[in-house]
A and B are shown apart, each in its own frame.
Chain A
């Protein structure tokens, strides 16, 4: 059997952990730059605040009902997420926890006898809650797709199910599939669900009784067959080892305000390049390709029925030698950005993407690498270590600037209770 453990309103639960006065109050957490609502407590859901709506649209509802709104505090969420995952890793055999996202993990439960599943899940849920203060929902099924179906039902009827649903026989699976609308199946997106509805398929059950050849034709080939097979109860997604090495690293942010000045864009690009290069070195890779994009502000349309994206300018360059050194990457990024920049335009967002990786030890052993490069690599190492130890980017490159007027808005961010000595929670 496989299970998915999913934290309940994860970001909101993290905020509540250190602000107990929020316990039964409606809470929402906003995305980067205070743009959209990305997490809602049950109380906020009941007020009719929808997921992913822009903050300004929900502002009236939020203020009227005294909803507590927070900017994303990724330092806190990241740390709490690690604690939840680590708790599971300690309670399960090695290799049977697959971290799927910041607040979800798949578990391989093949070592647990069927009659002990309920006890095991209850025990696991209680442990996670006691140790980390985060409540979770657990869905168990013969495979990943069905465990997701189970998890959705557990979250829907928290009181009735105790946040745990186990689908361990055909009858239960059938009933669960009948209660699952087609758009809520894991792996079926909006456009596919619309298409399937035109074929008269409205529940997961209706889809699950289709045969595999039908799936191959209408559900996108092999992936479709895999999905159908899992809906029928077979196992076709195996546990995945964590992706420790990325094939591509992107650092992109919205600006906190509209930016027109090249100087500010240069600072932003250099900062993103530094951040991306840091990640690159952490996974011991060197990048051979660099792309940069600048997103312009969308023109205001009078009859706009939905959000319009501004025009985007992007460029790609291949480096002579793959590199992992911040100065080289900054230089290439800034040059590329300069060629894309048009004076007089208003910019909303910029991004740096590194690609075409090679392992960095291949560079080291290269006879032709100038010794100066080895020295610079050492320098990078020192900078990385200092920034890791002292935080706040204590050492940075001149191009990144010191003002950062373009920086993300995060006016309502709570304290970083678990990662900074200066911001510890006070107790009386």
Chain B
């Protein structure tokens, strides 16, 4: 049996709350809004809580696990947004019609940090991965919860030193492949001196 555990739904909740509030805001007139928002949210949060409980009941079983591939789309967003954070036009004359369509602004953290406790930042200090678009001075976003499979760009530890390279796993060997002709591929000879620190999920590069 294979089940995909859609990460912790508890963390999906705050964003759902904002979505729900926004949807309801579009349907009702401002006068009705406040009451209906409260009622509507209560009902929906009840349903959500019910789903959370079901998911939690299953989560201890070891066969249900975060599916690494699927997980990306559904992983939790760790920020707690409040309905008050939805900006409004605050017009003094005729009420701005767009108020009914306001929603929370785009937050980069949502996109770049998929699993906050496992996400770390590094600064690049070499041009070994130039071909992969990683320049000197760039910031690497490293997610330790992503599986280090062959072909991924990783932060690796070799002989006590941090390296960013493309990981290549063959049957009996591991190699670290640069994307710059001036650098050579590193064959990892002794596994005890090697470990994969984390998988690079994004690069922040200033133009």
The interface of chain A, by Cβ under 8 A from chain B, is 20-23, 82-84, 86-87, 90-94, 111-112, 116, 119-120, 123, 130-133, 417-418, 421, 424-428
Contacts and interface: CB of A to CB of B under 8 A. Distances in A.
B144 A424 contact: no
Given A112-B60, A426-B162, A428-B163, A90 B8 contact: yes
Contacts of B155: 427
Contact of B145 (A84, A130, A425): A130
B128 interface: yes
Interface string B43-86: 00000000010001101111000000000000010100000000
B125 interface: yes
Given A23-B160, A91-B59, A132-B144, A426 B123 contact: yes
Contact of B122 (A22, A116, A425): A425
A22 B126 CA distance: 22
Contact of B11 (A83, A90, A417): A90
Contacts of B145: 130-131
Given A131-B115, A424-B122, A428-B164, 13 more contacts: A92-B59, A112-B60, A130-B118, A131-B117, A131-B118, A131-B144, A133-B144, A425-B123, A425-B162, A427-B122, A428-B125, A428-B161, A428-B163
A93 B123 CA distance: 36
Contacts of A425: 120, 122-123, 162
* 7 tightest Cβ-Cβ pairs between the two chains A and B: A21-B160, A131-B118, A83-B117, A86-B117, A20-B157, A428-B126, A426-B125
Contact of B117 (A87, A424, A427): A87
Contacts, number: 92
Contacts of A84: 117
A97 to B, nearest CB: 12
Nearest to B59: A91
Interface string B1-18: 000000110110000000
Given A23-B160, A131-B145, A133-B144, A427 B124 contact: yes
Given A21-B161, A91-B59, A132 B123 contact: no
Contacts of B197: 20, 133
Contacts of A421: 121
B104 interface: no
Contacts of B61: 116
A86 B10 CA distance: 13
A427 B136 CA distance: 10
A21 B161 CA distance: 7
B56 A93 contact: yes
A131 B76 CA distance: 15
17 contacts: A20-B157, A20-B162, A82-B117, A86-B78, A86-B117, A90-B7, A90-B8, A94-B56, A111-B56, A120-B62, A132-B118, A418-B120, A424-B122, A425-B122, A426-B122, A427-B123, A428-B164
A20 B194 CA distance: 10
Contacts of A132: 117-118, 144
Contacts of A93: 56, 59
Nearest to A422: B123
A147 to B, nearest CB: 17
Interface string B103-128: 00000000000011110111111101
Contacts of B162: 20, 425-428
Contacts of B144: 130-133
A257 B66 CA distance: 52
A120 B197 CA distance: 24
Contacts of B62: 116, 119-120, 123
B160 to A, nearest CB: 3
